[in-house]
């Protein structure tokens, strides 16, 4: 039998490609571009980025403050020669813990190491007594990466501020909605229970609000605000119906009933019948084949403010659009029976999908109010099916295609309708 060769443990500091790259970068440091105070503040704020923890940050701040301010000047050399034992005493940690933290700082690219043969740390001075080289903890990599790391700190602080603001708005909207549902006297029990069920469903989806993302909180807040508007709208309708009923009862008692065949006043009757709004609604409900036919029906009247700038494609019937967009029912919208009702809920659809007011206004200016409403509804449906990650960008792209005369909304609607019917059969 051969002799057993004992395994030898590796001697020396662990060498990795990343550590080698950090050593090379430290040689390119532009001395004098960053002060010691700036580096100390950076080291103190780095835990918010997740690169290091609080103990490692404490050690890094101690290392930065150990070097003199002149060491970071143009001809300086910020190398720390303190032993691990001295550093452990200063930060009140064990020597082994300090050694592990230094290794983590090296791996994170916040310090580099220049080791001697026996791991002793000492400087090399010139004839004038200035440190020109040495074996120790080199801080120059912090100077090289200062802009990058400072940008990470600023980004982390901005994300934290945005998350805190979204959380405050979410909690405020949730509190307002619960108060509105509790104090609304005009709501029926059925409407109140439906609104409360939607509220609890959104809360369940969000989960722990403090741990939810800013995007989820913003969308939940938009839904809460819409539910508040919906509750108030139902209350106003109930109060209006009650006032009408009381008025009708009073008129019946006083024998003041009058049967009016035309719902419009006599003075404004002909004007309302000839109005562009009335023509527009009746034409769209019938599913007009072309917007040009609608313009001709106006008889040479003045152009509307939200008139499309390019001849649009044929519009689908409203009932086909409603069947193609089940997201309207998913998000609790009352299904529109006229194009005017659809146009009124467009801002609410935009808030739910995260579409900005600027993108909506551009779509209305370019396509007209009716086609813009169809475009927003299609965008909401695709957002609900998670086919669109940026609804605002998707609507802007549709607006650009409309400007070029290349937008075919009817095709999109019929594709959605066909897919819904296929899924229903399966």
Residue with the two structure tokens 């035309």: 262
Residue 209 to residue 197: CA distance in whole angstroms: 18
pLDDT given at position 195: 86
pLDDT given at position 292: 36
Give the Cβ contact number of residue 67 at 10 Å.
19
What pLDDT digit, counting tens, does each position of 59-110 carry? 999 999 998 888 888 888 888 888 889 999 999 999 999 999 999 999 999 9
What pLDDT digit, counting tens, does each position of 166-178 carry? 899 999 989 988 8
More confident residue, 382 or 261: 382
pLDDT given at position 70: 87
Residue 243 to residue 279: CA distance in whole angstroms: 31
Say what the pTM is: 0.51
- Residue 192 and residue 227 in contact, taking contact as beta carbons nearer than 8 Å: no
Residue 325 to residue 377: CA distance in whole angstroms: 7
Total count of residues recorded for the chain = 426
Q: Kindly indicate the confidence band of residue 280, based on its pLDDT and cuts at 50, 70 and 90.
A: very low
More confident residue, 41 or 121: 41
pLDDT given at position 119: 65
Q: Kindly indicate the confidence band of residue 150, based on its pLDDT and cuts at 50, 70 and 90.
A: very high
Mean pLDDT to the nearest integer, 316-338: 85
Strands (E), 91-224: 112-114, 122-125, 131-138
Highest mean pLDDT among 124-128, 250-254, 259-263, 302-306: 124-128
pLDDT given at position 266: 36
In sequence order, what are the residues at sequence separation of 6 or more whose Cβ sits closer than 8 angstroms to the Cβ of residue 214? Answer: 159, 162, 163, 166
Token couple for 364: 């209305």
Q: Is the pLDDT of residue 279 over 80?
A: no
Q: Kindly indicate the confidence band of residue 395, based on its pLDDT and cuts at 50, 70 and 90.
A: very high
What pLDDT digit, counting tens, does each position of 223-258 carry? 888 888 888 887 777 766 665 655 555 554 454 444
pLDDT given at position 43: 93
What pLDDT digit, counting tens, does each position of 291-320 carry? 333 333 333 444 444 444 444 455 678 888
Using DSSP, state whether 406 is helix, strand or coil: coil
- Residue 42 and residue 146 in contact, taking contact as beta carbons nearer than 8 Å: yes
Residue 231 to residue 179: CA distance in whole angstroms: 11
Residue 305 to residue 299: CA distance in whole angstroms: 17
Q: Is the pLDDT of residue 8 over 80?
A: no
pLDDT given at position 270: 43
Residue with the two structure tokens 């494609």: 313
- Residue 109 and residue 141 in contact, taking contact as beta carbons nearer than 8 Å: yes
Residue 132 to residue 79: CA distance in whole angstroms: 10
């Amino acid at each position: 039998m051969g002799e057993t060769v004992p395994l030898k443990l590796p001697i020396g500091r662990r060498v990795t490609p990343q550590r080698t790259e950090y050593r090379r970068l430290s040689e390119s440091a532009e001395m004098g571009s960053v002060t010691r105070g700036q580096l100390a503040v950076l080291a103190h704020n780095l835990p918010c980025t997740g690169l290091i923890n609080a103990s490692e940050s404490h050690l890094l701040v101690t290392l930065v403050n150990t070097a003199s301010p002149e060491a970071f000047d143009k001809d300086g050399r910020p190398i720390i020669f303190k032993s691990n034992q001295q550093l452990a005493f200063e930060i009140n940690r064990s020597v082994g813990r300090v050694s592990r933290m230094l290794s983590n700082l090296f791996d994170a690219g916040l310090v580099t190491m220049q080791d001697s043969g026996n791991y002793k740390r000492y400087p090399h001075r010139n004839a004038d007594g200035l440190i020109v080289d040495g074996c120790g903890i080199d801080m120059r990599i912090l100077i090289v990466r200062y802009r990058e790391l400072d940008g990470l700190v600023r980004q982390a602080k901005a994300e934290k501020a945005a998350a805190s603001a979204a959380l405050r708005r979410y909690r405020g909207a949730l509190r307002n909605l619960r108060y509105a549902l509790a104090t609304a006297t005009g709501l029926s029990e059925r409407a109140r229970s439906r609104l409360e069920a939607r509220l609890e469903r959104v809360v369940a989806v969000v989960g722990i609000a403090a741990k939810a993302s800013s995007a989820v909180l913003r969308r939940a807040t938009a839904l809460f605000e819409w539910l508040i508007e919906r509750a108030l709208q139902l209350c106003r309708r109930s109060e209006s119906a009650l006032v009408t009923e009381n008025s009708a009862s009073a008129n019946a008692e006083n024998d003041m009933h009058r049967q009016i065949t035309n719902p419009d006043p006599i003075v404004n009757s002909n004007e309302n019948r000839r109005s562009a709004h009335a023509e527009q609604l009746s034409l769209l409900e019938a599913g007009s084949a072309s917007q040009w036919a609608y313009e001709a029906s106006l008889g040479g009247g003045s152009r509307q403010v939200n008139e499309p700038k390019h001849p649009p494609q044929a519009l689908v019937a409203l009932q086909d659009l409603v069947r193609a967009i089940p997201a309207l029912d998913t998000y609790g919208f009352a299904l529109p029976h006229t194009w005017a009702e659809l146009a009124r809920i467009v801002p609410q659809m935009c808030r739910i999908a995260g579409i900005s007011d600027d993108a909506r206004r551009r779509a209305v200016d370019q396509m007209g109010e009716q086609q813009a409403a169809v475009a927003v509804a299609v965008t909401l449906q695709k957002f609900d099916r998670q086919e669109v990650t940026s609804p605002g960008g998707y609507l802007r792209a549709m607006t650009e295609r409309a400007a070029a005369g290349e937008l075919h909304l009817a095709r999109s609607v019929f594709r959605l309708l066909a897919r819904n019917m296929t899924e229903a059969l399966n």
